[in-house]
Amino acid sequence: MISAGEFRNGVTFEDNNQLFQIIEFQHVKPGKGAAFVRTKVRNVITGATIEKTFNPNEKFKKAYIERKDMQYLYKDGDLYYFMDEETYEQMPLNKEQFGDALRFVKETESVQMLSHNDRVFGVEPPNFVILEVVETEPGFKGDTAQGATKLAKLETGTSVKVPLFINIGDKIRIDTRSGEYMERA
């Protein structure tokens, strides 16, 4: 059990048979009245973000999220297939179960499968990936305004903003958490 007074960013807990993760928290002690905890929480299953306030003495069941290394194999229609790297067992998942988490992941790359009580609810890609640029406009000499960017389509089919000097065939490092260009690889 965890009390609301012990909330920290990243803590996962159960409330009314729903699974929440703390995004932000603030312990508030007003001049009059009792203290409370103001939070911004994300429903782990649905992805919805809401703001809630709690009495610091309220107790909740701490939820443990299981993370398992899986290899992304291929896509077949609306199903995405993953393989357990230990047992070689394959598992199909619908896109609704993980959203756009695979937009930077190539086939055969490893991801972490997130589950709670044996129910898979998400996929976590590696924090950084290296992908090849397959389509972009050419950069022109002298076109060097500071911070200027252009769109580049990557080998996974998604597009990101890149500096003007990036060309087709270049390999670039992407931060999958923010979806931003980091550097040439």
Q: What is the pLDDT of residues 49-64, one digit of tens each?
A: 899 999 888 999 988 8
pLDDT at 142: 58
Interior angle at CA 170, CA 127 and CA 134, nearest 5: 90
Check which CATH number belongs to the domain holding 38 and give it: 2.30.30.30
What pLDDT does 140 receive?
64
Using CA atoms in the order 109, 114, 120, 124, what is the torsion angle rounded to 10 degrees?
-40
Q: Tell me, what CATH number does 82's domain have?
A: 2.40.50.140
The span from the CA of 123 to the CA of 108, in Å, is: 14
* Total domains, the chain: 3
- Counting as low any pLDDT under 50, the low residues of the chain are none
Number of H helices, E strands in the chain: 0, 16
Residues 73 and 57 both lie in one domain: no
Residues 89-107 have pLDDT tens digits of: 998 888 776 767 788 888 8
Residue 145, pLDDT score: 58
Q: Are residues 133 and 148 in the same domain?
A: yes
Task: State the sign of the Cα–Cα–Cα–Cα dihedral 90, 96, 98, 99.
Answer: positive
**What local confidence, expressed as pLDDT, does residue 42 receive?**
84
Q: What is the predicted pLDDT for the residue at 11?
A: 84
Whether 25 and 70 share a structural domain: no
Structural domain range at position 102: 66-124
What pTM was computed for the model? 0.68
Give the pLDDT of residue 83: 92
Q: Identify any residues that bridge with 92 across adjacent strands, giving them in sequence order.
A: 81
Report whether 13 contacts 60 (CB < 8 A): yes
